[in-house]
């Protein structure tokens, strides 16, 4: 079976069920159309909505991630610059002054004062010698003579030349950062300059990011200790509670759920300035995705509205369609029944007329014989039981008269079924007749092929009787073919006076013997289903209209009925 065929069957199966329970049939038809229409409308809509959501979600994520990275990176640079600036000025002082000048307390005070004017946030400045002893100190604390040689930063600055500490709480419980630089002097000697920075400037840098309520920016060190106060995750020196990526990397953005169970987008950017600091920028995902959520809810709303509208429209539409189908079916059913009724009446009429005509002749004979008897008796004066016989004969004649009245009435009834000539388009009539049978054709998958000649001349004939002719023959063709059989109907102009219509089927065909009798009354091959009158009547009508019917048939191959009809019916006695 070809795929086209398969489709047709599928659709047919969906729209028609062979179950003939009428109420049920329309219910199922309604349900099937409804499901079909809902599927073909809602599935594409849903697919579109899903694709759109996916695309939009990924694009909006990009739109969120990139600014986040940029801002983090920018702030990171500001921090780097801040540290770099302070380191370089300390480095500059270390390079510009000699050990002796720096170890002089007065000198150092003067330098520190000048330094404070130019650079903010420096808390103190001190010189430390090779042994880790504070030789001079300018600042608010009493650090003079303090020995740093055991502290880890001292070792680090000797190795690396630079040092920036983690944030620590100074003596006054303010967070501080210490920076130190080392300068080598000739003869293997060196000097170390150490300064403390007040981290209040850090907050200014972070404030310059102009973050909203749902955002948080701060520094942590590589051990996860918070270096500047955080809005979400605690004070300075608290442990940062969210897992973060280790190692060296450019600014990256990760999604994390924090201990407060908020979904966060967090950007990390490690500072490159000889330090262990990582710039952290955390934003609540819900805030970032607000436009997305707004759009999504709008879309969901639009989707829901669409679906509801579709369902309502489809429901209404299905209802209308099914009602129309039902109306059309009922109308056709009614027409067919009316037609059947007329058919029956006209069959009875024709039968009655036949009977009346046939009975007339014997009646006439009885009438004459009885009349003669009466004459003979009447003229014979010697006849003994004359009165008795005349009475009997009169009663016979009266009965004959009664029979005549009956036949008269029968013929009167038959006359009402008489021919009414109208102009007919045979092609139209054939199609009309087929409409009675197209349902059966559909159920049984019978292929109907019409070769109806265009511009077929109109004929003058009786519509009802012509319909009967074609319905009878086509009905027979339907009975003859198997399911999925083929019936071909062809019309043509035979000659200037006649049109022809052939009805060909590829059914079981007929034997020669059957073929001889098919137009005889009461001959039927349909056993209990047939009256044996159908084709006899059909033939009678065709003849009556001045036409003819020819049949050719071969067993197992099919049958072809050809009906010839005059353009102008010549009404004859027919039978």
Burial of 276 (0-12, 13-18, 19+ CB in 10 A): middle
Judged by beta carbon, residue 308 or residue 376, the one nearer other proteins is 376
Q: Which stretch binds other proteins (CB under 8 A): 51-59, 72-80, 364-372, 536-544?
A: 364-372
Tokens of 275: 């330090």
| Chosen residue from 123, 226, 400, 437 binding other proteins by CB under 8 A | 400
Q: Which stretch binds other proteins (CB under 8 A): 3-11, 139-147, 361-369, 510-518?
A: 361-369
Judged by beta carbon, residue 150 or residue 416, the one nearer other proteins is 416
Q: Spell out a b/e string for 280-294, using b for 16 or more CB atoms within 10 Å of the CB, else e.
A: bbbbbbebbbeebee
Judged by beta carbon, residue 196 or residue 346, the one nearer other proteins is 346
To other proteins, the closest distance from the beta carbon of 418 in angstroms equals 9
Q: Which stretch binds other proteins (CB under 8 A): 5-13, 21-29, 397-405, 537-545?
A: 397-405
> What are 503's strand-pairing partners?
489, 561
| Chosen residue from 234, 241, 371, 532 binding other proteins by CB under 8 A | 371
Per-position x/- string for 403-442, each x denoting binding to other proteins as judged by CB under 8 A, each - no binding: -x--xx-xxx-xx---------------------------
Binding of residue 402 to other proteins (CB under 8 A): no
To other proteins, the closest distance from the beta carbon of 461 in angstroms equals 19
Binding of residue 185 to other proteins (CB under 8 A): no
Binding of residue 368 to other proteins (CB under 8 A): yes
Q: Spell out a b/e string for 106-118, using b for 16 or more CB atoms within 10 Å of the CB, else e.
A: ebbeebbeebbee
Q: Which stretch binds other proteins (CB under 8 A): 26-34, 161-169, 221-229, 365-373?
A: 365-373
d(CA 429, CA 422): 12
d(CA 383, CA 376): 9
> Residues binding other proteins: what is the number (CB under 8 A)?
27
In degrees and rounded to multiples of 5, residue 237 shows phi and psi of 75, 5
- For residue 45, give the DSSP letter: H
Q: Which stretch binds other proteins (CB under 8 A): 42-50, 352-360, 461-469, 488-496?
A: 352-360
To other proteins, the closest distance from the beta carbon of 396 in angstroms equals 11
| Chosen residue from 21, 85, 327, 375 binding other proteins by CB under 8 A | 375
Q: Which stretch binds other proteins (CB under 8 A): 104-112, 184-192, 237-245, 363-371?
A: 363-371
Q: Distance from CA of residue 490 to its chain's centroid?
A: 43
| Chosen residue from 17, 342, 367, 490 binding other proteins by CB under 8 A | 367
d(CA 50, CA 500): 62
| Chosen residue from 308, 313, 376, 514 binding other proteins by CB under 8 A | 376
Contact 492, 500 (CB under 8 A): yes
> What are 193's strand-pairing partners?
127, 181
Q: Which stretch binds other proteins (CB under 8 A): 15-23, 230-238, 325-333, 374-382?
A: 374-382
Judged by beta carbon, residue 366 or residue 392, the one nearer other proteins is 366
To other proteins, the closest distance from the beta carbon of 570 in angstroms equals 14
To other proteins, the closest distance from the beta carbon of 21 in angstroms equals 48
To other proteins, the closest distance from the beta carbon of 403 in angstroms equals 8
Tokens of 91: 């480095």
d(CA 135, CA 131): 10
Tokens of 114: 């000048």
Per-position x/- string for 515-554, each x denoting binding to other proteins as judged by CB under 8 A, each - no binding: ----------------------------------------
Binding of residue 369 to other proteins (CB under 8 A): yes
Burial of 305 (0-12, 13-18, 19+ CB in 10 A): exposed
Residues in the chain: 575
d(CA 524, CA 330): 31
| Best CA proximity match to 116, nearest among 84, 142, 138, 94 | 138
Q: Spell out a b/e string for 307-321, using b for 16 or more CB atoms within 10 Å of the CB, else e.
A: beebeeebeeebeee
To other proteins, the closest distance from the beta carbon of 401 in angstroms equals 8
| Best CA proximity match to 277, nearest among 223, 229, 237 | 223
d(CA 523, CA 528): 12
Binding of residue 372 to other proteins (CB under 8 A): yes
| Chosen residue from 35, 39, 365, 422 binding other proteins by CB under 8 A | 365
Binding of residue 162 to other proteins (CB under 8 A): no
Q: Which residues bind other proteins (CB under 8 A)?
A: 356-357, 360-361, 363-369, 371-372, 375-376, 379, 400-401, 404, 407-408, 410-412, 414-415, 573
């Amino acid at each position: 079976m070809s795929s086209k065929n398969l489709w047709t069957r599928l659709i047919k199966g969906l729209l028609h069920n062979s179950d003939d329970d009428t109420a049920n049939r329309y219910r199922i038809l309604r349900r099937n159309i409804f499901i079909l229409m809902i599927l073909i409308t809602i599935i594409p809509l849903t697919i579109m909505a899903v694709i759109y959501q996916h695309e939009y979600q990924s694009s909006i994520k990009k739109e969120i991630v990139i600014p986040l990275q940029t801002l983090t990176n920018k702030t990171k640079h500001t921090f780097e610059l801040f540290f770099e600036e302070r380191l370089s000025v300390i480095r500059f002082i270390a390079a510009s002054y000699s050990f002796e000048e720096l170890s002089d307390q007065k000198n150092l005070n003067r330098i520190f004062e000048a330094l404070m004017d130019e650079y903010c946030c420096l808390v103190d400045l001190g010189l430390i010698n090779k042994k880790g002893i504070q030789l001079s100190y300018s600042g608010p604390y009493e650090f003079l003579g303090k020995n740093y040689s055991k502290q880890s930063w001292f070792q680090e600055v000797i190795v690396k030349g630079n040092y920036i500490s983690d944030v620590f709480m100074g003596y006054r419980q303010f967070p501080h950062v210490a920076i130190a630089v080392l300068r080598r002097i000739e003869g293997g000697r060196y000097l170390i300059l150490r300064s403390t920075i007040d981290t209040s400037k850090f907050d200014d840098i972070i404030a310059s990011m102009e973050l909203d309520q749902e955002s948080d920016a701060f520094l942590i060190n590589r051990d996860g200790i918070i270096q500047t106060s955080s809005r979400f995750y605690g004070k300075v020196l608290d442990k940062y509670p969210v897992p973060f990526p280790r190692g060296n990397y450019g600014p990256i953005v990760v999604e994390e759920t924090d201990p407060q169970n908020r979904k966060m987008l967090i950007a990390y950017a490690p500072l490159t300035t000889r330090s262990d600091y990582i710039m952290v920028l955390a934003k609540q995902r819900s805030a970032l995705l607000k436009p997305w959520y707004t759009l999504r809810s709008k879309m969901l709303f639009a989707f829901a509205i669409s679906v509801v509208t579709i369902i309502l429209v489809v429901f209404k539409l299905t209802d209308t369609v099914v009602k129309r189908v039902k109306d059309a079916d009922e109308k056709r059913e009614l027409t067919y029944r009316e037609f059947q009724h007329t058919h029956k009446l006209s069959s009875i009429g024709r039968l009655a007329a036949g009977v009346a005509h046939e009975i007339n002749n014997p009646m006439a004979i009885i009438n004459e014989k009885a009349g003669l008897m009466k004459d003979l008796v009447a003229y014979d004066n010697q006849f003994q039981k004359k009165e008795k016989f005349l009475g009997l004969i009169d009663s016979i004649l009266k009965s004959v008269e009664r029979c005549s009245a009956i036949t008269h009435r029968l013929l009167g009834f038959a006359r009402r079924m008489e021919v009414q000539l109208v102009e007919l388009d045979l092609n139209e009539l054939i199609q009309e007749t087929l409409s009675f049978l197209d349902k059966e054709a559909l159920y049984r998958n019978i292929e109907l092929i019409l070769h109806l000649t265009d511009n077929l001349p109109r004929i003058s004939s009786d519509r009802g009787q012509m319909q009967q002719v074609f319905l009878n023959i086509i009905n027979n063709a339907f009975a003859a073919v198997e399911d999925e059989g083929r019936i071909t109907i062809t019309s043509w102009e035979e000659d200037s006076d006649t049109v022809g219509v052939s009805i060909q089927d590829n059914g079981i065909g007929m034997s020669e013997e059957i073929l001889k009798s098919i137009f005889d009354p009461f001959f039927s091959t349909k056993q209990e289903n047939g009256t044996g009158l159908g084709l006899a009547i059909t033939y009678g009508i065709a003849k009556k209209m001045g036409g003819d019917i020819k049949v050719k048939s071969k067993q197992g191959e099919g049958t072809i009925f050809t009906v010839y009809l005059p353009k102008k019916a010549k009404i004859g006695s027919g039978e």
